[in-house]
Amino acid sequence: MAEKQTQSTSEWLENEKVRGILKEYLDETDYRIYKELNRDGRISDTELGERVGLSRTAARRRRKKLQNEGLVDVLGVLVLQEADLAYADAFVTLDPGLSQDKFDAFIAEVSTEELIYEIDEYMGEYDLLLRVWHASLSDVKRYLRTTLQAHDAVESYDAVPVTKTHKAWHKILSN
3-state helix, strand, coil in the chain (%, to 5): 45, 20, 35
Count Cβ atoms within 10 A of the Cβ of residue 106 and give its class: 0-12 exposed, 13-18 middle, 19 or more buried: buried
CA-CA distance, 129 to 157, in Å (whole number)?
A: 9
Answering whether pTM is above 0.75, one says: no
Condensed to tens digits (0 to 9), the pLDDT of residues 54-64 reads: 999 999 999 99
Distance of CA 42 to the CA centre of its chain: 18
DSSP H stretches of helix in the chain: 2-14, 16-22, 28-39, 45-52, 56-68, 100-111, 137-144
pLDDT digits (tens, 9 = 90+) for 112-155: 999 999 999 999 999 999 999 999 999 999 999 999 998 999 99
Q: For residue 11, report the phi and psi dihedrals to the nearest 5 degrees.
A: -55, -45
Which of 68-82, 84-98, 139-153, 157-171 shows the lowest mean pLDDT across its residues?
A: 68-82
Determine the pLDDT at residue 78. Answer: 64
pLDDT tier for residue 7 given thresholds of 50, 70 and 90: very low
Q: What's the rounded Cα separation, in Å, for the pair 135 and 84? A: 8
Return d(Cα 148, Cα 92) in angstroms, integer.
Answer: 9
Decide if pLDDT at 101 tops 70: yes
